[in-house]
Amino acid sequence: MNSVRIDRQAIRRNYQALAAQLGGQAQVMAVIKADGYGHGMVEMATILQGVGASHFAVATVEQGVLLRQAGIRGRLVVLLGGLAAEISAMQSYALEPALFDADQFAQFSAAAARLPAPLPVHLKVDCGMGRLGFNPAEVGAWSEKLRAARGLELVALMSHFPSADGDLELTRRQNEVFGRCLATVRSHHAGVKAHIANSAATLLGREFHWDLVRPGLALYGCYPSPDPQWRHTPLVPAMSVATTLVQVEAAPAHKGVSYGHLDRTSRPSRLGVLPLGYAEGFSRRLSGGVGQVLIRGQRAPVMGRVCMNVTVVDVTDIPGACRGDEVIIMGQQGNDQIRAEEIAAWMGTINYEVLCLLGKSMPRHYFN
């Protein structure tokens, strides 16, 4: 009844469009944490490996282990670093943690000293995100400490942009700070790689690409901002979400609909029932006409409160709508399309959250 459809070809095309931006200078490290932003982590890695991706970023050691068990061969970076207790698993499964904190550094260098071979690590510097990472002023000292830490092998310097989707000047300044940190680190560790660009910075241009770029959102076919200036690179949304009308019934004027009677019909109406609600990621914030769905190529607004597994929509203006009709929650139907960005605006959130919510709660079907 409910299905999340994932277009493999869209993922391949988005990867290729991003790789083309790099002009052979840098490589893509595909960010597939959060179950591939709701698209399926293992499936995304498998598809991307098939078109040449050789670097992946996940959040946790557990995710990295799952990828290895599924036969993913590329380099796997653990963005949240993992725990010192997981260090032998990291080595066994060839996972490369990000190092971003003094306590973590102390624990990791002690634990790694007992490993049979050095563990590759990515040193993270905070160029302005205000989240994880060493202070740029101290990066030289940490890089020297890494030289002394025999169990750890520095393979890359990394950082993360907070506003690449909206503030080019700030992003340029942060990129310069990153460049200075890199020069310092390379004076101790020649040949260290560098990566800082998320989707937005990847789309912005080569000055942000360094050796590797780390796009997530763009791989799945979404732009970092609704501003049309980002559309120079063709991206195709890979996820669509469909369900089926399980009931269509006539309702008199003034009939209260769903919990709390948030809405009442304003006229003799026809109401359709969808077998999905907030448990399937169709947020309660879409209640009361905020959200819409597509039926027979036309928009049907949500009536009343979205429930746990049930949502009512107004199909009065959609002639012939009946039980069994396909309903598009996100995606194209006829000449109309509901994108993740539109749902995000209704919900007061961002397209990232829409993909994660819808993608994780319903069975996924892959095609192409």
Ligand X SMILES: Cc1ncc(COP(=O)(O)O)c(C=O)c1O
The catalytically annotated residue of 33, 145, 255, 360 is 33
Tokens found for residue 331: 């995606």
Contact status: 75 vs ligand X (CB under 6 A): no
Part of the chain binding ligand X (CB under 6 A), chosen from 19-27, 179-187, 208-216, 331-339: 208-216
Report how far residue 273's alpha carbon sits from residue 120's, in angstroms, rounded to the nearest whole number. Answer: 53
Report how far residue 107's alpha carbon sits from residue 110's, in angstroms, rounded to the nearest whole number. Answer: 5
Whichever of 179 and 275 has its CB closer to ligand X, that residue is 179
Contact status, residue 241 vs residue 331, Cβ threshold 8 Å: yes
Tokens found for residue 227: 């501003």
Binding residues among 6-45 for ligand X as defined by CB under 6 A: 31
Contact status: 125 vs ligand X (CB under 6 A): no
Part of the chain binding ligand X (CB under 6 A), chosen from 10-18, 148-156, 217-225, 343-351: 217-225
Residue 195 beta carbon to ligand X: minimum distance, rounded to whole angstroms: 8
Contact status: 239 vs ligand X (CB under 6 A): no
Name which position in 40, 81, 215, 331 contacts ligand X (CB under 6 A). 215
Residue 221 beta carbon to ligand X: minimum distance, rounded to whole angstroms: 12
Contact status, residue 54 vs residue 27, Cβ threshold 8 Å: yes
Report how far residue 273's alpha carbon sits from residue 248's, in angstroms, rounded to the nearest whole number. Answer: 6
Whichever of 146 and 355 has its CB closer to ligand X, that residue is 355
Sequence-distant (6+) residues with CB within 8 A of 125 are 133, 134, 135, 136, 139, 157, 158, 159, 178, 181
Within the chain, residue ranges assigned H as helices are 8-22, 33-37, 41-50, 61-69, 87-92, 102-112, 139-148, 168-188, 199-204, 340-347, 351-361
Report how far residue 120's alpha carbon sits from residue 111's, in angstroms, rounded to the nearest whole number. Answer: 13
Report how far residue 210's alpha carbon sits from residue 119's, in angstroms, rounded to the nearest whole number. Answer: 23
Helix%, strand%, coil% for the chain, nearest 5: 40, 25, 35
Residue 71 beta carbon to ligand X: minimum distance, rounded to whole angstroms: 24
Contact status: 151 vs ligand X (CB under 6 A): no
Site string for ligand X, 153-192 (x = CB under 6 A): -------x--------------------------------
**Is 124 designated active site?**
no
Residue 48 beta carbon to ligand X: minimum distance, rounded to whole angstroms: 14
Contact status: 79 vs ligand X (CB under 6 A): yes
Report how far residue 45's alpha carbon sits from residue 51's, in angstroms, rounded to the nearest whole number. Answer: 10
Whichever of 79 and 271 has its CB closer to ligand X, that residue is 79
Whichever of 3 and 163 has its CB closer to ligand X, that residue is 163
The catalytically annotated residue of 93, 255, 259, 360 is 259
Part of the chain binding ligand X (CB under 6 A), chosen from 65-73, 178-186, 216-224, 235-243: 216-224
Contact status: 216 vs ligand X (CB under 6 A): yes
Name which position in 27, 109, 199, 311 contacts ligand X (CB under 6 A). 199
Residue 116 beta carbon to ligand X: minimum distance, rounded to whole angstroms: 29
Contact status: 55 vs ligand X (CB under 6 A): no
CA nearest to 314, candidates 338, 333, 288: 288
Burial 60-88, CB ≥16 within 10 A → b, else e: bbebbbbbeeeebebbbbbbebbbbebbe
Contact status: 270 vs ligand X (CB under 6 A): no
Three-state secondary structure call for residue 29: strand
Whichever of 199 and 292 has its CB closer to ligand X, that residue is 199
Report how far residue 29's alpha carbon sits from residue 156's, in angstroms, rounded to the nearest whole number. Answer: 12
Residue 224 beta carbon to ligand X: minimum distance, rounded to whole angstroms: 6
Rounded to whole angstroms, what are the CA distances from 55 to 29, 30, 95, 213? 4, 6, 11, 10
Contact status: 214 vs ligand X (CB under 6 A): yes
Name which position in 6, 121, 217, 276 contacts ligand X (CB under 6 A). 217
**Is 259 designated active site?**
yes
So which residues are the catalytic ones?
A: 33, 259
Q: Which residues bind ligand X (CB under 6 A)?
A: 31, 79, 160, 198-199, 214-218, 224
